[in-house]
Amino acid sequence: MSAACPDGFAPFPPHVFVYGTLRPGERNAALTTRFGSPTVQRAILPAFQLFNLAPEGYPAIVPGTAGQSVRGEVLSYSPDVWRQLLPLLDALEGVEQTPPLYHRERVRVTLALGGAAEVWTYVYARAARLEQSGAVLVSSGDWLQRP
């Protein structure tokens, strides 16, 4: 998926589900507030599984089973902030690398305060890496509780 649409506007909706180093308080969180503070809502991404990759030191999510889920936050932005931020998020996540590190995908999350939302998230693109040593399933689905 490209960093921006051909007309220069970032893909909508202007919401991203973060589950690892972009979460508030984590090492890459400052990027998420570079152009303005988002609205933050806790959320769960159903039917995905979370891995802790070592020695890389970052998470990976991939589709899982109906009983699995990933915990995180939905960050919501104004359209102007989203247009500025999205290319930086895509760069951090290696969307344009060959081969890509992550794919940006639209997913549906369950919001902690009720309801659901359609948002973007970054899904790990290198499945073979998850079969190698150092890829540890985070059974709780919460990066903050990783082993």
Indicate which CATH number applies to the domain containing 67.
Answer: 3.10.490.10
In sequence order, which residues have a C-beta less than 8 Å from that of residue 110 and are 6 or more positions away?
43, 44, 46, 116
CA dihedral 55, 29, 44, 90 (to 10 degrees): -80
Between 77 and 5, the more confident residue is 77
Residues 6 or more apart whose CB falls under 8 angstroms from that of 112 comprise 41, 42, 43, 44
Average pLDDT, the chain: 93
pLDDT of res. 4: 40
Q: Which domain holds residue 79?
A: 15-129
* 61-87: average pLDDT: 97
Distance CA 43, CA 46 (A): 10
Other beta carbons within 10 Å of 1: 13
Q: Decide if 111 is inside a domain.
A: yes
Over the stretch 38-59, which tens digit does the pLDDT of each residue have? 999 999 999 999 999 999 999 9
pLDDT grade for 147, boundaries at 50, 70 and 90: confident
Which residues are bridge partners to 124 per DSSP? 102
**Structure confidence at residue 6 (pLDDT):** 38
Residue 121 belongs to a domain: yes
Does the CA dihedral 22-143-71-2 come out positive or negative?
Answer: positive
Tens digits of residue pLDDT in 5-23:
434 556 889 999 999 999 9
Is 84 domain-assigned?
yes
Q: Note whether residue 143 is domain-resident.
A: no
Report whether pLDDT(3) > 50.
no
pTM (2 d.p.): 0.92
Say if 4 falls within a structural domain: no
Look at residue 28 and tell me if it is in a domain: yes
- How many domains is the chain built from? 1
Sheet with 58-63, edge to edge strand ranges: 58-63, 48-53, 135-137
